[in-house]
Amino acid sequence: MGALVERAAELAAIDAALARAVSGDGSILLVEGEAGIGKTELLHTATVRARDLGMQVISSGGSELEREHAYGVVRQLLLPAYAALPAEAQAEVLTGAARLAGPVLGLEDGHKAGGAPDQGAVLHGLYWLAVNLAARQPLLLSLDDWQWCDAPSIRFIAFMARRLEGEPIAMVLSLRAEDSSAPGPALAEVVGEGLTRVLRPRPLSLPAVGDLVAESLPGPVDPAVVEACFQATGGVPFLVHELVKAMREDGLRPTAEVVATIDRLGPQAVTRSTMLRLAPLGEIAVGVGRGVAVLGARATIRRVSRLIGVSEPELIPALDALVSARILRAGGPLEFVHPLVRTSVYEDLPVYARSDMHARAAALLAAEGADPEEVAAHLLGAEPREDPRHADLLVRAAHSALARGAPDAAAVYLRHALAATPARDGQAQLLYELGCCELAIRDPACTAHLRAAMQTLPDRRARALAALALADALFYVADLEGSRAVLHAALADLGAEDDDLALRLEAMAAHAGYGDPRFNPEVQADLPRLRHLAQRTGARARALNVFLALVDSTSGDGVDRTVAGVERGLDGGRLLELETSDSIAVAVAVNALVFVDELDRADALAVAMLDDARRRGLVLGFIAGSAHRGLVALRTGALARAEAETRAALELAQQHELMFTIPFTLSYLGAVLHERGNSAEAGAMLEQIPLPPGFDQTLAGATFRQIRGRLRVAGGDRAHGVTDLRGAGAALEAIAMRNPNVHSWRSELALAIVPEHGDEARGLVEQELEDARRAGSSRALGIALRASGLIKTGEDAVAELGEAVAVLEHSPARLEYARALTDLGAALRRANARKSAREPLRHGLELATRCDAAALADRARRELIACGGRPRRTMITGRDALTPSEQRIAEYAARGDSNRDIAQALFITPKTVENHLGRIYKKLAISSRDRLPDALSAQR
């Protein structure tokens, strides 16, 4: 192979990317272009140059057969690099989050009983494995033929692409542009990433083609020949090479006479010339060519011999003939000289013959005990037919994909397995497994499959498990009616009331119904039975106890009962252990604690969720844990933490496309941003997201609308804001949600409408006061008293606000306390008691500042100045100057965690941690990490 012609710009880009990687900064090159343009050649050059620079190189290519082989390409990349390490180093690169890559590399079975392993966890693990490898020696990842990569591998590449900054990793990818089945969205992600540069090698110019012709053919070259070659090949290097070789072999000289011959070869020169060369070699050679084309990367002489039914000795002359005809490569594994040659031979095979060869290849590989996914790849290439053996092989492939944490790939196999399974036997179990895989990737198709499984599984308990999965899927798309119907059907089917599975079904059905006005009365009426059931079954009724505690927390009495119920439900950590951090029951427990102001306990539980999520690598668990920790922080008034946690939850949800978590997380983030003086951003976020149908009427919908209403009012759109607040209130009333500590929508609405509807506003506040007293929540009572004070005037106002302050002083709700103090001060000022106004204002200002409540602090400061007070200047350095994410990271660092620990724990990159720490040190005016704990506590 000669030197590359006309590729100076591409080579310079490669050199630059490699140099950057060596100096510790990652980037990506995507080489895109038509077949034969020279992509593989550029990637090859990159690997050679990387080695010269002392980098470790790991490279791999997709092949047309490998599309469905879950993480096949990633394994080709990472497994050899891992395997080549000494044992000690192997352990080292696989520590921490990288451990989660274990299942992909086949070092550990990730197929947990009863469900697919978490996809996000696997991606996170693989990323860390690559980072750890690169930490030993700068790394070049070269990946040829992206268009033939399996989907999980593509997801990994896209995941990496966003996380290369600050890592000594260069990636070069190639993509055959015209391949219509190329994976669009993931590619767009990579290309859209700032660290990616796209190279589009162009066809060779006329003079370059002339050079190649002159190099290979003897004698002076007639310009007409060059022109004809250029026309016939479009300057595509591969075609030029092929054409020139064919001319040389035919003994043609580059004179004007051959122009007509060249024109005849035309643009499909390769296919034609390949077939022209292949056909005369005889039947056996043609068979061998086809066999190699079908077997792809797994072709061996033995396999080809068995596949086409010709003995090995008989094959040898045919193989040699194929090599001399420049169809197969000489030596090494059985391989075509170029992918385009394989395509020509493969596509020349008639459809049914091809399908039949794939089916036989599958049988052959299966008999050899080959990897199930290798076998299955052939079955996917064959026409689907009902055949229990095929079904069995496809199911094995699905399990192997699942064990690697690739439920999407598993789903593909299972769909084919379903087609291969006669309706009468065994479809039910397949439907269940398929449904679970689809649930794991939140594919809407899961509901139909789980439902069918539920109706056909022969075993009652199996049917109940299918029902739980289906109910979960429906719950998250806000189809509470459907969710309940499924659970009830399963309960009736299961019979035994105190069975552990039945208890889970009961808890879920009750919870799904409770938050929906259509079913709330039914659930309320059923409560005595549920309580009795929980009592009878004791510790086993975990989720049910949590649900009952939620009822206690919202009904407005029984703080102690709520706490006791939650404790019973958590069962000393067993609930979390059994149902994991991404289960609904655990999230419900946090909420119940929040509603009764048990914020320390709630926070501890959210932290336990995060730990569980981290340990198991559950992305959804991490999102839920962060969002709930954010909620708790919002309630205590730790707004910076609240922002950091909810933003982290939101980002992760977007990255992993877990869209159903977004409305919920966004509600809290909206509330936090509003307090921090950022209502415009919050408002825009809440206005933009699409909501599932029926969402409005649910508890989560009411939360969302109350906060959107607040933001609309703040943004000057009072009419729509009030509609939202009324809507939220109606939804809450409809489910008899009276505890104002869940949502104090009445006082909020009252303050919004008081100018026009004074009587209604007063009525609303009265009601809220009454309910708050009954609930025994000092937070809710303080909020209601404050509203009551604000709609009164003069001494009444001052008295009521004073009471609000007194009540809130002993509640954990610091932000509400600060708000009441500020309003009291303002009322005193209006009543001309400027001097006595200063104390509450000063105190309110200090608290608001500590809560990072910019909007409130601002108001308190202005009031204080108006009273003749002189507010202390706010610190501009120190902890308070840290952004929410900086504070979050600073806390971990102060605890002694390394950058890598922090990055792994928070599902972010080391570079992000490093950047943040740099800014943190500057703001705290310190120079090293060990000064962090002091610097952080000194500010408080």
Ligand X SMILES: Nc1ncnc2c1ncn2[C@@H]1O[C@H](COP(=O)(O)OP(=O)(O)OP(=O)(O)O)[C@@H](O)[C@H]1O
Binding positions for ligand X, rule: CB under 6 A: 1, 4-7, 33, 35-41, 176, 237-238, 241, 338-340
Question: Cα(209)–Cα(202) distance, rounded to whole angstroms?
Answer: 13
**Shortest distance in whole angstroms from residue 204 CB to ligand X:** 7
Question: Cα(77)–Cα(56) distance, rounded to whole angstroms?
Answer: 12
| Bridge partner residues of 336 (DSSP) | 328
3-state secondary structure of 197: strand
Interaction partner, residue 37 (ligand X, Mg ion, none; CB < 5-8 Å by kind): ligand X
Q: State which residue, 61 or 884, has the beta carbon closest to ligand X.
A: 61
Question: Cα(316)–Cα(152) distance, rounded to whole angstroms?
Answer: 39
Question: Cα(221)–Cα(247) distance, rounded to whole angstroms?
Answer: 13
Q: Residues with Cβ < 8 Å from 263, sequence gap 6 or more? A: 228, 231, 232
Query: What is the side-by-side strand order in the sheet with 139-144?
Result: 56-61, 139-144, 169-176, 27-33, 196-199
Tokens of 572: 């000393």
3-state secondary structure of 554: helix
Interaction partner, residue 303 (Mg ion, ligand X, none; CB < 5-8 Å by kind): none
Question: Cα(772)–Cα(157) distance, rounded to whole angstroms?
Answer: 53
Q: State which residue, 40 or 703, has the beta carbon closest to Mg ion.
A: 40
Tokens of 587: 């999230």
Distance of CA 125 to the CA centre of its chain: 13
**Shortest distance in whole angstroms from residue 49 CB to ligand X:** 15
Q: State which residue, 11 or 284, has the beta carbon closest to Mg ion.
A: 11
Q: Of 33-41, 436-444, 485-493, 818-826, which segment contacts Mg ion by CB under 5 A?
A: 33-41
Q: State which residue, 67 or 850, has the beta carbon closest to ligand X.
A: 67
Interaction partner, residue 284 (Mg ion, ligand X, none; CB < 5-8 Å by kind): none
Q: State which residue, 4 or 22, has the beta carbon closest to ligand X.
A: 4
Question: Cα(580)–Cα(608) distance, rounded to whole angstroms?
Answer: 10
Which among 874, 778, 862, 785 is positioned nearest to 822, based on CA atoms? 862
Question: Taking phi first (over 0 means left), then psi (-120 to 50 degrees means alpha), and beta for anything else, what does residue 878 get?
Answer: left
Question: Cα(304)–Cα(291) distance, rounded to whole angstroms?
Answer: 6
Query: Is 465:114 a contact under the CB 8 Å cutoff?
Result: yes
Query: Is 764:747 a contact under the CB 8 Å cutoff?
Result: yes
**Shortest distance in whole angstroms from residue 35 CB to Mg ion:** 8
**Shortest distance in whole angstroms from residue 5 CB to ligand X:** 4
Site for Mg ion in 153-182 (CB under 5 A): none
Draw the binding track, 514-553, toward Mg ion (x: CB under 5 A; -: no contact). Answer: ----------------------------------------
CB atoms within 10 A of CB 773: 14
Q: Residues with Cβ < 8 Å from 404, sequence gap 6 or more? A: 70, 71, 103, 104, 106, 110, 122, 152
**Shortest distance in whole angstroms from residue 60 CB to ligand X:** 14
Draw the binding track, 879-918, toward Mg ion (x: CB under 5 A; -: no contact). Answer: ----------------------------------------
Draw the binding track, 719-758, toward Mg ion (x: CB under 5 A; -: no contact). Answer: ----------------------------------------
Q: State which residue, 245 or 773, has the beta carbon closest to ligand X.
A: 245
Which among 855, 779, 858 is positioned nearest to 812, based on CA atoms? 779
Which among 654, 673, 139, 75 is positioned nearest to 374, based on CA atoms? 75
367, 371, 373, 374 alpha-carbon torsion, rounded to 10°: -70
Q: State which residue, 340 or 686, has the beta carbon closest to ligand X.
A: 340
**Shortest distance in whole angstroms from residue 41 CB to Mg ion:** 8
Q: State which residue, 330 or 496, has the beta carbon closest to ligand X.
A: 330
**Shortest distance in whole angstroms from residue 294 CB to ligand X:** 18
Q: State which residue, 66 or 675, has the beta carbon closest to Mg ion.
A: 66
* Kind and range of the H or E run holding 284: helix 283-295
**Shortest distance in whole angstroms from residue 245 CB to ligand X:** 10
Interaction partner, residue 607 (Mg ion, ligand X, none; CB < 5-8 Å by kind): none
Angle in degrees, CA 738, 740, 742, rounded to 5 = 95
Query: Is 715:679 a contact under the CB 8 Å cutoff?
Result: yes
Residue 581 makes contact with Mg ion by CB under 5 A: no
Interaction partner, residue 238 (ligand X, Mg ion, none; CB < 5-8 Å by kind): ligand X
**DSSP E strand boundaries for 291-399:** none
Interaction partner, residue 35 (Mg ion, ligand X, none; CB < 5-8 Å by kind): ligand X
Q: Of 12-20, 39-47, 162-170, 253-261, which segment contacts Mg ion by CB under 5 A?
A: 39-47
Q: State which residue, 63 or 400, has the beta carbon closest to Mg ion.
A: 63
Interaction partner, residue 819 (Mg ion, ligand X, none; CB < 5-8 Å by kind): none
User: What is the pairing mode between strands 139-144 and 196-199?
Assistant: unpaired
**Shortest distance in whole angstroms from residue 176 CB to Mg ion:** 7
Residue 273 makes contact with Mg ion by CB under 5 A: no
Interaction partner, residue 833 (ligand X, Mg ion, none; CB < 5-8 Å by kind): none
**Shortest distance in whole angstroms from residue 266 CB to ligand X:** 18
Residue 147 makes contact with Mg ion by CB under 5 A: no
Q: State which residue, 36 or 670, has the beta carbon closest to ligand X.
A: 36
What DSSP designation does 66 have? Answer: G
Q: State which residue, 3 or 87, has the beta carbon closest to ligand X.
A: 3
Q: State which residue, 176 or 708, has the beta carbon closest to ligand X.
A: 176
**Shortest distance in whole angstroms from residue 29 CB to Mg ion:** 15
Question: Taking phi first (over 0 means left), then psi (-120 to 50 degrees means alpha), and beta for anything else, what does residue 716 get?
Answer: left
Residue whose beta carbon is closest to ligand X: 38
Distance of CA 427 to the CA centre of its chain: 30
CB atoms within 10 A of CB 23: 9
Question: Cα(509)–Cα(516) distance, rounded to whole angstroms?
Answer: 11
**Shortest distance in whole angstroms from residue 38 CB to Mg ion:** 8
| Bridge partner residues of 169 (DSSP) | 139
- Reduced to 3 DSSP states, what percent helix, strand and coil does the chain have, rounded to the nearest 5? 70, 5, 25
**Shortest distance in whole angstroms from residue 144 CB to Mg ion:** 6
Residue whose beta carbon is closest to Mg ion: 40
Site for Mg ion in 795-824 (CB under 5 A): none
On the CB side of 6, CA atoms within 13 Å amount to 18
Site for Mg ion in 667-726 (CB under 5 A): none
**Shortest distance in whole angstroms from residue 44 CB to ligand X:** 7
Q: Residues with Cβ < 8 Å from 728, sequence gap 6 or more? A: 701, 702, 703, 705, 706, 709, 743, 745
Q: State which residue, 247 or 340, has the beta carbon closest to Mg ion.
A: 340
**Shortest distance in whole angstroms from residue 81 CB to ligand X:** 23
Residue 555 makes contact with Mg ion by CB under 5 A: no
**Shortest distance in whole angstroms from residue 122 CB to Mg ion:** 28
**Shortest distance in whole angstroms from residue 64 CB to Mg ion:** 12
Q: State which residue, 176 or 842, has the beta carbon closest to ligand X.
A: 176
Residue 45 makes contact with Mg ion by CB under 5 A: no
Among 27, 40, 153, 555, binds Mg ion (CB under 5 A): 40
Interaction partner, residue 789 (ligand X, Mg ion, none; CB < 5-8 Å by kind): none
Q: State which residue, 6 or 880, has the beta carbon closest to ligand X.
A: 6
What DSSP designation does 140 have? Answer: E
Question: Cα(707)–Cα(671) distance, rounded to whole angstroms?
Answer: 6
Q: State which residue, 41 or 165, has the beta carbon closest to Mg ion.
A: 41
Interaction partner, residue 358 (Mg ion, ligand X, none; CB < 5-8 Å by kind): none
Residues that bind Mg ion in the complex, under the rule CB under 5 A:
39-40
